[in-house]
Amino acid sequence: MEAPQFLDLNPAPRILLGPGPSMVASRVLRAMSTPLVGHLDPEFLTVMNQVQQLLRYVFQTQNELTIPISGTGSAGMEAALVNFIETGDNVLIGVNGYFGERLCDMAGRIGAHVDRLERPWGEVFDPDEFSAALARKQYKLLAVVHAETSTGALQPHVAEIARAAHDHGALFVLDTVTSLAGLPVEIDAWDVDVAYSGTQKCLSCPPGLSPITVGSRAREVLRQRATQVPNWYLDLSNVEKYWGEERTYHHTAPISMNYALREALRLVAEEELPARFARHRANAEALWAGLEELDLPPFVPLAHRNPTLTTCQLSPTIDDMVARRQLLNEYNIEIAGGFGPLKGKIWRIGLMGHSSRRENVVLLLAAMKAITAAV
């Protein structure tokens, strides 16, 4: 069998304004390429401790069990379910977009009885809807998406939903994939039991890790399980021993990805969260104003519009695929289309982390103007 030969990597210099990955700062790329130490080396254990401390800052939590899962955001989502659900458990999931659907899919595979609380894609929930549903049946867990990447809607009143869950004896799981480090996420203040995210969104670290934080209520549920966690790789009762004081070998942590995450988190800490949120907000508002002018109005009403990921409506004169291919090929700009019920109807524009910069907004609007004017 002949050895294949390929040239050096030489990718186009993309400007990443889709739903992730976002652009990665050169400091993060440099840190990632630091020569490796072993995964049980005392120096790596220090890195792990620092990553945990920095993650607690971005999650705004004192939760001891705050770590990066060694997989992408979807692995974090699955970890947030499989550790706390056992076969036959009742689970309630808010579904107003693709990632709510995915939560249902995952929970169903674990053997949960899944009830869906539904809203059309792009809308958000009223906390009272959850209270009413939680009152009708005893649920083990309620899961809700904070910022739906498929629609651009931002769920408000998270603390109220958490309270409703707890009032009815359910754990509250929050998907913060597209919100963490781009807009306020207050795990302790909101009393969220489990939250997870991805590294490739507002943290602007390459994809490959999934930060998760687990509070004491959820840890107690994990401890009290009648059955083993069916998923070995994501079993937090073992993973926490590696990240905790015991340092028991579980799997080989992705060293370089943790280097990268540490550096991405350092950048967040240096900027500080309030300034970071303000930057995301300001650039999003500039984008929204520009989109209105281009007759590509934002899809989600201002009241629950997500500043880290904007969706805009396409006029029928625009060919979704052709226009996005033009943006990519002629301007090196990546944005994304809609999918599911929104396919061909919206674009999804991420201004996340290092991608959230004024020059990107101005360039994107100019390129969009040229492309849509030519139609």
Q: Name residues contacting a copy of itself, limited to 49-108 (CB under 8 A).
A: 50, 53-54, 56-57, 60, 70-75, 78, 102, 105-106, 108
Q: What span, in angstroms and rounded, lies between the C-alpha atoms of 313 and 12?
A: 28
- Could you tell me the smallest distance in angstroms from the CB atom of residue 97 to a copy of itself? 14
Nearer to a copy of itself, 143 or 255 (CB): 255
- The strand ranges marked E within the chain are 15-16, 65-69, 90-95, 113-118, 141-145, 171-175, 194-196, 210-214, 309-313, 333-334, 336-337, 346-350
Instruction: Tell me the per-residue interface mask from 206 to 245 with a copy of itself, x by CB under 8 A, - otherwise.
Output: xxx-------------------xxxxxxx-----------
Please give the single-letter amino acid code of residue 296. Answer: L
Q: Which of these ranges, 164-172, 202-210, 313-321, 360-368, lies near a copy of itself under the rule CB under 8 A?
A: 202-210
31 scored as a contact of a copy of itself (CB under 8 A)? yes
331 scored as a contact of a copy of itself (CB under 8 A)? no
- Could you tell me the smallest distance in angstroms from the CB atom of residue 112 to a copy of itself? 11
- Could you tell me the smallest distance in angstroms from the CB atom of residue 265 to a copy of itself? 9
- Could you tell me the smallest distance in angstroms from the CB atom of residue 230 to a copy of itself? 5
Nearer to a copy of itself, 53 or 138 (CB): 53
Q: Which of these ranges, 34-42, 121-129, 216-224, 282-290, lies near a copy of itself under the rule CB under 8 A?
A: 34-42
- 112-151 per-residue burial string, b: 16 or more CB within 10 A, e: under 16: bbbbebebebbbbbebeebbebbeeeebbbbbbbbbbbbb
CB contact at 8 A, 58 and 210? no
Among residues 92, 93, 110, 170, the one that binds a copy of itself under rule CB under 8 A:
110
- Could you tell me the smallest distance in angstroms from the CB atom of residue 268 to a copy of itself? 8
Q: What span, in angstroms and rounded, lies between the C-alpha atoms of 280 and 357?
A: 8
Among residues 45, 328, 362, 363, the one that binds a copy of itself under rule CB under 8 A:
328
Nearer to a copy of itself, 164 or 356 (CB): 356
Helix, strand counts (H, E) of the chain: 13, 12
Instruction: Tell me the per-residue interface mask from 259 to 288 with a copy of itself, x by CB under 8 A, - otherwise.
Output: xx-xx--x-xxx-xx---------------
| CB-based contacts of 241-249 (< 8 A; 24+ apart in sequence) | 243/48, 243/52, 243/65, 243/67, 244/64, 244/65, 247/40, 247/45, 249/40
Kindly give the interhelix angle for 98-109 and 73-82, rounded to the nearest 10 degrees.
Answer: 50
- Could you tell me the smallest distance in angstroms from the CB atom of residue 194 to a copy of itself? 16
Distance linking the first and last C-alpha atoms of the chain: 50
6 scored as a contact of a copy of itself (CB under 8 A)? yes
CB contact at 8 A, 107 and 238? no
Nearer to a copy of itself, 108 or 341 (CB): 108
- Could you tell me the smallest distance in angstroms from the CB atom of residue 156 to a copy of itself? 22
Q: What span, in angstroms and rounded, lies between the C-alpha atoms of 337 and 176?
A: 21
Tell me which residues in 180-199 interact with a copy of itself (CB under 8 A). 198
CA atoms within 13 A on the CB side of 268: 32
Size of site (CB under 8 A) for a copy of itself:
87
Q: Is 100 helix (H, G, I), strand (E, B) or coil?
A: helix
- Could you tell me the smallest distance in angstroms from the CB atom of residue 348 to a copy of itself? 12
CB contact at 8 A, 92 and 133? yes
- Could you tell me the smallest distance in angstroms from the CB atom of residue 65 to a copy of itself? 17
Percent of the chain that is helix, strand, coil (3-state, to 5):
45, 15, 40
Could you tell me which of 242, 189, 217 has the C-alpha nearest to residue 67?
242
341 scored as a contact of a copy of itself (CB under 8 A)? no
Pairing of strands 90-95, 65-69: unpaired
157 scored as a contact of a copy of itself (CB under 8 A)? no
Nearer to a copy of itself, 56 or 345 (CB): 56
- Could you tell me the smallest distance in angstroms from the CB atom of residue 226 to a copy of itself? 14
Quick one: DSSP state of residue 304? Answer: G
